[in-house]
Chain A
Amino acid sequence: MLDVESGAVHLVDKLAYDMLEHLTPPLEQEPPKSLLQAFSSYPEEEVAETYRELYRLWEDGQLFAPDGHDVFVEKLGLSPVKAMCLNVSHDCNLRCAYCFAGKGDYHQGRMVMDARTGKQAIDYLIAASGDRERLEVDFFGGEPLLAFDTVKAVVDYARSREPETGKRFRFTITTNGMLLDDEKIDYINREMSNVVLSLDGRKSVNDKVRARIDGTGCYDAVVPKFQKLVQRRGDGEYYVRGTFTKYNKDFGQDVLALYDLGFDQVSVEPVVSDPKEPWALTEEDLPEVFAEYDRLASIILDHRLRKTGLNFFHFMLDLSQGPCAIKRLRGCGCGNEYVAVTPDGDVYPCHQFVGMEQWRMGNVFDGTLDKDKKAYFAASTIYQKPDCRQCWAKFYCSGGCNANNFRYEGDVRKAHTLSCEMERKRLECAIGIKAAQLLREQEVTV
């Protein structure tokens, strides 16, 4: 049982669970007579004892906690920019069917970023970062390794500016692997704090949607390179990141296929695309998707108990030491503390907004950043999103993806329903895994 506003998670027995339906705060110290009558099939002492346990939780603010809007909202405002998605390449050597970026060029024409623009973007980020010390730059595309010289120049330049500015850069890169070689692997493993490797799982699944320009699949070309990168990376952070579509609603098999290839840090996520596309997931797919998440949850639980190291990104959940409530109010921070920069230096709220002219926020060469748009994104918290305010998962997904909200619902503040349904299911699984893990571990210690 999740107490939404406090964040407490309790395991309750059937009596306590059923009793919750009958209770409305504020609670009285002793069980009301009506409650004893409603549960007259149970011994009266047991009902009273259960009630007192619930009462104690309520008294401690761990049950029926009130809406914390007033506490949270005064903490919000504009934030310095601390993260940048640097689209060093609006070109790609793959033509993945579901690509949100127009097969790599974001519908803006194929181009790569030159080093001058990349360095200017670093200056722009430093200037917009206020008192933030840790700055993040993700090399993205298209395929960023098509602009590897720019990547290296940007990293060198950013590092050179660290001592005088007091900033510390953290670099990440997302790659399809096609251009990886020994030099790039070693460079990435040395300079990138995280690397996201795009691969969808089984060969048949991957090659159906992740194809080269000539239509042939990329699986055989990239898997050995990814394996080499991960083997050489040691303990360094990485994710093999796949997408599942209507073609592989049994995506748990793809998680396991990736694990069998030697990848233990795995993220396989639902495609988000126009419902008219043949690969698009739609409402009618949800029962199968939900059943597969349940199946995958059992598999991941089993792996956790056996300590195999397999980690599924969307089932990771830190119930006690996770991010603070302030972070949870507006999630990714796009347009406020996170921006994307195109090869010609244009600034957008995030990579998903790139190419939507109405959302362009500025340019790194003239140092502009649209204050009104920034303020709009800063204010787009879960409390400004009516669907979110009522949702039990609001402090876990933080209002979802603003770009998807806009693209598919026409409004940044209107939740993309399909994504929400899958997000809630994943959270349910993640909490369930935590609960089961705890119970099993207790059994072992007893």
Chain B
Amino acid sequence: MKHIKTLAKGSLKESAQKGGCGKCQASCQSACKTSCTVANQKCERQA
């Protein structure tokens, strides 16, 4: 495409169908402890 470049394909709905296994780290245990950031975490099912 000339006018648009897709940086990341959206897959939230697909991830909902396959996701929810709960293997991932609790986000508040990572580094922050006072502020919440979830999108920088890894899906551990794929790891």
A interface residues (Cβ-Cβ under 8 A, vs B): 3, 5-13, 15-16, 49-50, 53-54, 56-57, 61-62, 65, 68, 71-72, 75, 79-80, 82-83, 85, 100, 132-134, 136, 138, 140, 170, 172, 174, 194, 196, 239, 241, 243, 267, 269-270, 272, 313-314, 316-328, 331-334, 337-338, 350-352, 395-401, 404, 419, 423, 426-427, 430, 434-435, 438
Contact = CB atoms under 8 A, between A and B. Distances in A.
B29 to A, nearest CB: 5
B8 A398 contact: no
**Binding site secondary structure of chain B:** loop
A419 B39 contact: no
Nearest to A80: B22
Contacts of A10: 4-7
B7 to A, nearest CB: 4
B2 A61 contact: no
Contacts of A8: 6, 8-10
A313 B8 contact: no
A86 B39 CA distance: 25
A239 B40 contact: no
Contacts of B46: 321
A272 B6 contact: no
Nearest to A5: B12
Interface residues of B, number: 43
Contacts of B19: 75, 323-327
22 contacts: A6-B10, A8-B6, A50-B2, A54-B4, A56-B1, A57-B6, A68-B12, A79-B22, A239-B31, A267-B31, A272-B35, A313-B31, A314-B35, A323-B19, A324-B20, A331-B38, A333-B26, A350-B28, A396-B39, A399-B36, A430-B40, A435-B7
Contact of B36 (A6, A321, A401): A401
Contacts of B11: 6-7, 320
Nearest to A193: B25
Question: Which A-B residue pairs are the 7 nearest by beta carbons?
Answer: A324-B19, A6-B10, A8-B10, A319-B8, A83-B26, A326-B20, A316-B40
A350 B32 CA distance: 13
Given A6-B10, A71-B13, A324-B19, A100 B4 contact: no
B23 to A, nearest CB: 6
B41 A322 contact: yes
B43 to A, nearest CB: 5
Contact of A270 (B3, B29, B35): B35
Nearest to B5: A11
Contacts of B10: 3, 5-9, 61-62, 65
A435 B4 CA distance: 12
Interface of B: 1-13, 15-20, 22-44, 46
A85 B29 contact: yes
Contacts of B41: 318, 322-323, 327
Contacts of A398: 27, 36, 38
Given A50-B3, A423-B37, 16 more contacts: A7-B8, A7-B11, A10-B4, A12-B3, A53-B4, A62-B6, A71-B17, A134-B23, A170-B25, A314-B40, A323-B24, A325-B15, A325-B16, A327-B20, A332-B38, A434-B7
Contacts of A72: 16
Nearest to A198: B33
Contacts of B36: 331-332, 397-401, 423
B39 to A, nearest CB: 4
Nearest to A313: B31
Contact of A323 (B32, B34, B35, B38): B38
B18 A324 contact: yes
Contacts of A82: 22, 26
Contacts of B4: 10-13, 16, 53-54, 57
A435 B6 CA distance: 10
A62 B13 contact: no
Given A322-B43, A396-B38, A140 B22 contact: no
B12 A323 contact: no
Contacts of B17: 71
A325 B26 contact: no
B24 A327 contact: yes
A387 B33 CA distance: 22
A313 B31 CA distance: 8
Contact of B31 (A9, A241, A435): A241
Contact of A136 (B26, B37, B40): B26
